[in-house]
Amino acid sequence: MNLRRKSKLHVEVSTHSLNDIMFFLLLFFLIVSTLVSPNVIKLILPNAQSSPAVSKKTISVSVNADKQYFIDNQEVPFGSLESTLTTMMAKIDEPTVILKVDKALSVQDLVDVLEIGNRHKIKMVLATQAPK
């Protein structure tokens, strides 16, 4: 006496639409990731072994390879860098400036910005890149 079934059930999951869903998710995340930080200044920072964190209110001063000066992502000519920086510092108690200078620039370009901070007793910290 044979009590087994003659036809076995065949279970199948259709994954044809899964390719379309994955493609649209990939496309969505690629588009969103480009919109995350549109106001970033392209700089190649010098390397350092340790990077201390700064927790106070900070102002970012960036100098790119073309010697364009930026204060908090707004371009400022070098002639008015000192006056703009001092007016921003007057609004903040215990101000700290983070210097982001491209490593392709000479040391004199860094010293020019540091002299401005030294004249006005502004605490300046040089931003570096952590080793890979």
The CATH number of the domain holding residue 105 is 3.30.420.270
Residue-wise pLDDT for 19-63, tens only, equals: 889 999 999 988 888 777 656 667 777 777 776 665 567 888 999
Range of the domain at 115: 58-126
Residue 11 pLDDT = 81
Residue 69 pLDDT = 92
3-state secondary structure of 67: coil
In the predicted model, what is the mean pLDDT of the chain? 82
For the segment 105-112, the average pLDDT, to the nearest whole number, is: 89
| Structural contact between residues 97 and 117, judged by C-beta atoms closer than 8 angstroms | yes
DSSP output for 50-66: ------S-EEEEEE-TT
Question: Helices in the chain by DSSP H: which ranges?
Answer: 16-35, 81-90, 107-119
Quick check: is 2 in a domain?
no
Quick check: is 110 in a domain?
yes
Quick check: is 20 in a domain?
no
Quick check: is 11 in a domain?
no
Quick check: is 47 in a domain?
no
Give just the sign of the alpha carbon dihedral 71, 74, 76, 82: negative
Quick check: is 18 in a domain?
no
From 107, 39, 76, select the one nearest 86 (Cα to Cα). Answer: 76
- Please give the tally of structural domains in the chain: 1
Quick check: is 21 in a domain?
no
Residue 103 pLDDT = 85
Quick check: is 29 in a domain?
no
Residue 3 pLDDT = 67
- Using a cut of 0.75, tell me whether the model's pTM lies above it: no
- Percentage above 70 pLDDT, the chain: 86
Residue-wise pLDDT for 10-25, tens only, equals: 788 888 888 889 999 9
